[in-house]
Structure 1
Amino acid sequence: MTIAIRYVLFAIVSTLVNFATQEAVIRVAPLGLSILAGTAAGFAVKYVLDKKWVFYDGYTSHGDEARKVTLYAAFSVLTTMVFWGFEIAFWIIWQTDLAKYAGGAIGLAIGYAAKFALDRRFVFQAAAA
């Protein structure tokens, strides 16, 4: 299985974790908190899967791992803004759960495509080279 296929499969897994978390949290908290919780859950799952199964990146030191997580998180902020923008815009326009999740899926797809290039180039460069 190629690196791109694994990345896409794990992006789907992360998206499902994100949406499932949102759906669970929305029952007890406002929309904003559910989106934040879903994003955090998706981030954690995606980092572990990318590190271990996409880029085959091993652990070297606390400092190196902190650098990788920091870079991964920084790139995630930009791509998360795309995701949130689509999800919230679709919610505002159509005000349905289906629209919110469709917008989120579109935003995540765009964000993950950009993030793959950034992660491969800057975060997990030694493992991907």
Structure 2
Amino acid sequence: MNIALLYALFAVISTAANIGSQDIAVRAYTGFGSIPFSVVVGTGIGLIVKYVLDKQWIFQFKANNAKHDASTFVLYTIMGLVTTVIFWGFEFGFNHVFHTKEGRYVGAVIGLAIGYITKYHLDKKFVFPSSQRIGQE
């Protein structure tokens, strides 16, 4: 399958995991700060799902050991901080403008789409350089 299509599919899966877990979190906790709490939960779940899919199917990455995998995940997360600012900016911006969960989720989807495109390029260059890919040592 074409890498771009596969990456787009994984972005959709990760977005669904993110938004779905946000919805579960905001239903489970409705008190003070429930929206930021749900966004953090969704971001974490989406990050883990995307990392597992990307490392195997997009970048064909195989860690040497658990420590190598953990350090790669930390770098992956750091690259994600840049794109999280984009994603959260859209989500909270749409929430501020529309004051509905649907508006907030639309903002989240737009922000995630822009963020995932940016993240692919950051990950390709900094997290999964070709020297770390399977069979390329």
TM-score normalized by the length of structure 2: 0.88
Query: Paired residue for 1:89, among 78, 89, 93?
Result: 93
Please tell me whether residue 35 in structure 1 is matched to residue 39 in structure 2. yes
2: distance between equivalents of 1:89 and 1:9? 26
Shift of 1:60: 1.1
Query: How many residues align structurally?
Result: 129
Give RMSD over aligned pairs: 1.4
Deviations 1:20-58 (A, max 9, x none): 000001012211111110000000000000011111111
1:17 aligns to what? 17
Identity of aligned residues (%): 40
2: distance between equivalents of 1:59 and 1:77? 22
Deviations 1:66-103 (A, max 9, x none): 33112101011110111011000000111111110110
TM-score normalized by the length of structure 1: 0.94
Shift of 1:59: 2.0
Spell out the pairing of 1:3-82 with structure 2 (5 A cutoff).
Answer: 3-29=3-29, 30-82=34-86
1:106 aligns to what? 110
Gapped regions of structure 1 (runs ≥ 5): none
Gapped regions of structure 2 (runs ≥ 5): none
Moved over 4 A (4+): none
1: distance between equivalents of 2:28 and 2:67? 38
Shift of 1:118: 0.7
| Corresponding letter in the other structure for 1:116 | Y
2: distance between equivalents of 1:54 and 1:84? 25
SS of the counterpart of 2:28? coil
- Structure of greater Rg: 2
